[in-house]
Amino acid sequence: MSNAQVTFDPKNMPFRRLGPSGLRVPLFSLGSWLTLGGTVVGDPVKEIIKVAFENGINMFDTAEGYAKGRSEIEMGRVIRELGYRRSDLVITTKLFFGTRPGPNDTGLSRKHIIEGTQESIARLGLDYVDVIFAHRPDYSTPMEEIVRAFNYVIEKGWAFYWATSEWSARDIEEAYHVADKLNLIGPIAEQCQHHMLHRERPEKEYAPLYKKYAIGTTVWSALASGLLTGKYNNGVPEKSRLAAHPDFFKETIKNLDGEEGREKIRKIQELTKLAETDLGCSMTQLALAWVARNPNTSTVILGASKPEQVVENLKALEVIPKLTPEILDKIDDILKNKPAPIPSFGRPPLDRFGRT
């Protein structure tokens, strides 16, 4: 990567700070769960990463557990082959699920955090990652051990920052307090699920964290694995994520036929109408713009099985300014799942994003 020939051009991509840190991340980044190194291997991985990079995406997310390490291997290979400059890129990976089932090959023990980080950067073929995430909380390891281990990884230069994923607000607060007490580095962001059909945790549970610690979010499944594109409105198409992973998505597929699933599809159909008539965009672009419009979102991690999806999805950037308070109200009226605000006991209300 030292003889890099390609320089990054951010094009019209906005950049936001990742939480309280100085790291700037593109509003849309690219992930690899189930896709890169999984259902997508070889040259198509390169095509997807290249089209993302050429359209202003310089942040790529993976995890040790994705395709048992093959996602990191494919991503590292492609980045080397494309000749990108390391300092142009923001690479994030995640530890917890491991690549092997051994008793110390998963979780957040000091042993696995240190060995797992070294194995991840070796698979990626890099000297360091920019952000390393704790992919899940580990209640069988003391928080002090977890914080000390991530601090060590940063001190060693194997990662610049650490962050959490799918931790409760309480767990994140504990990590902050332990880091503060020991004068160590605390987490800067949470990688959370946030989309039109999943709002309670990112919009309500974390609301105090945005305010108190300015944590950032790297949002996953903004399209609910594709449901919010409308592609599952009439069943499961042959070439789709749900069809490719019938066991993993067994419950999701079953629910599509039930009352709850039919209600979700009805809402998606209504939102599609709103997208097309009021905004002149697709349902997919509306769903992505809606997450990106939230000021607590640092980056929306896109998932794509084809380069064309990246191009289509990035048109969401043009939709963001069209999401006026009136349109957001119309969306809330259709969704009917806006979390109740945190009680203010007569104090002036919080803004629509849960901020004072």
Ligand X SMILES: NC(=O)c1ccc[n+]([C@@H]2O[C@H](COP(=O)([O-])OP(=O)(O)OC[C@H]3O[C@@H](n4cnc5c(N)ncnc54)[C@H](OP(=O)(O)O)[C@@H]3O)[C@@H](O)[C@H]2O)c1
Q: Which residues bind ligand X (CB under 6 A)?
A: 31-33, 35, 61, 135, 165-166, 191, 220-226, 229, 231, 240-241, 284, 301-305, 309, 312-313
Q: How far is the CB of 181 from ligand X (least distance, A)?
A: 27
DSSP string covering 71-139: HHHHHHHHHHHHTB-GGG-EEEEEESS-SS--TTSSSS-HHHHHHHHHHHHHHHT-S-EEEEEESS--T
Nearer to ligand X, 4 or 236 (CB): 236
Nearer to ligand X, 294 or 309 (CB): 309
The neighbour count for residue 83, using CB atoms within 10 Å, is 12
108 φ, ψ (degrees, to nearest 5):
-125, 30
Classified as helix, coil or strand, 222 is coil
Q: How far is the CB of 94 from ligand X (least distance, A)?
A: 6
259-274 helix and 283-292 helix, angle to the nearest 10 degrees: 90
Nearest CA among 337, 334, 333, 341 for reference residue 197: 337
Whole-angstrom distance between the N-terminal and C-terminal Cα of the chain? Answer: 45
HEC string of 138-200? Answer: CCCCCHHHHHHHHHHHHHCCCEEEEEEECCCHHHHHHHHHHHHHHCCCCCCEEECECECCECH
Nearer to ligand X, 177 or 254 (CB): 254
Burial class (CB in 10 A: 0-12, 13-18, 19+), 356: exposed
Q: For residue 341, is it left (φ>0), alpha (ψ between -120 and 50) or beta?
A: beta
Nearer to ligand X, 61 or 138 (CB): 61
Q: How far is the CB of 73 from ligand X (least distance, A)?
A: 15
Q: Two tokens at 198? A: 């999943």
Q: How far is the CB of 139 from ligand X (least distance, A)?
A: 17
Q: How far is the CB of 40 from ligand X (least distance, A)?
A: 9
Nearest CA among 152, 140, 214 for reference residue 182: 152
Classified as helix, coil or strand, 277 is helix
Q: How far is the CB of 228 from ligand X (least distance, A)?
A: 7
Name, in order, each residue with C-beta under 8 angstroms of 1's C-beta and a sequence gap of 6 or more.
79, 80, 83, 84, 85, 86
Q: What single-letter amino acid sits at 23?
A: L
Q: How far is the CB of 315 from ligand X (least distance, A)?
A: 9
Residue 98 near residue 21, CB atoms below 8 Å: no
DSSP-assigned beta bridge partners for residue 36:
40
